[in-house]
Copies of this chain bind each other. A is one copy, B any other.
């Protein structure tokens, strides 16, 4: 539509961000973009292990990673941590405080990452008179709710193998959405994180990966995972058990 945006704003703003199509600015006009642009802060890179916010912090901003991934975790009274979600570049972080005004979870960087920070008050203010942004904000919130539901769907699956397949499948989808090759990836989260995300024991996750590899669906070496048979992964993810058919054993 406006092919010269990149030339107009050379500085590394929203307009030049590769995530533009996914992120807040999607679907708003150039003039509106400028307004958003003015309230977005960019901070120095966050190191792995650093937190964007902690449980109980008052809601200040929402964040979007330009690169790098995060996990959000909920530490319960016993000190165990439950992993609520993983956040790839372009996926909003920090919406968890919307309800109470206080963060229910904390956001931890899994890798070094660059993030954009958007003070929520200002965002809401701009959104209230920029139609497109308001709608887009709703949409992004909705997507986040959608991911929550996907997560739940994972947890409700009885079989550990199903959950694991679903996890990998979902990750692949999301990687592809942000333009990464979804079939070869280096996981940024540990087996333990995955386990705590899926509600399984760490060892069960490990066994599940091994099983998938034995069945020829994926190839694993530590955190490097390659998806060899997407169709099969998809099937497994939806609860169709894998009987011998893949190991060429007739019965």
When distances are taken between beta carbons in the complex, the residues of chain B under 8 Å from A77 are 238
Query: Which B residues are in CB contact (< 8 Å) with A99?
Result: 139, 141-146
- Looking at the assembled complex, report how far the CB atom of A196 sits from the nearest CB atom of chain B, in whole angstroms: 8
| Residues B96 and A145 in contact, CB atoms below 8 Å apart | yes
Question: How many Å lie between the Cα of A74 and that of B97 in the bound state?
Answer: 26
In the assembled complex, the CB of A180 is this many whole angstroms from the nearest CB of chain B, namely: 21
Contacts A128-B128, A134-B128, A199-B158 hold; do A149 and B78 have CB atoms under 8 A apart? no
A124 interface residue (CB < 8 Å to B): yes
Q: A92-132, CB under 8 A of B: which get 1 and which 0?
A: 00011111100011000000000000000000100011010
Q: How far is the CA of A159 from the CA of B142 in the complex (A)?
A: 31
A46-96 CB contacts (< 8 Å) to partner B: 74, 76-78, 82, 84, 95-96
Is A151 close to B, CB under 8 A? yes
Q: How many copies does the complex hold?
A: 2
B residues in contact with A149, CB < 8 Å? 74, 84, 96, 104-105, 148
CA gap between A157 and B153 in the complex, in Å: 15
Contact of A155 among B98, B100, B138, B152 (CB under 8 A): B152
Distance (whole angstroms) from the CB of A209 to the closest CB of chain B: 20
Q: Which of B74, B135, B156 contacts A199 (CB 8 A)?
A: B156
Interface size class of A (residues with CB under 8 A): 35 or more
A152 contacts B145, CB within 8 Å?
no
- Kindly identify which residue among B97, B155, B239 contacts A142, using a CB–CB cutoff of 8 Å: B97
In the complex, residue of chain B having the shortest beta-carbon distance to the beta carbon of A157: B199
Q: Which of B128, B139, B152, B156 contacts A148 (CB 8 A)?
A: B152
User: For A84, what are the chain B residues with a Cβ–Cβ distance below 8 Å?
Assistant: 149, 152
Cα separation A144 to B199 with both chains bound (whole Å): 22
Question: Can you name the residue of chain B whose Cβ is closest to the Cβ of A150?
Answer: B104
Known: A99-B139, A156-B82, A199-B158. A148 touches B146 (CB 8 A): no
Asked whether, in the complex, the Cβ of B199 is within 8 Å of the Cβ of A95, the reply is no
Q: Which 10 A-B pairs have the closest CB atoms?
A: A99-B142, A98-B142, A155-B155, A156-B199, A99-B146, A99-B143, A148-B148, A152-B152, A82-B156, A98-B138
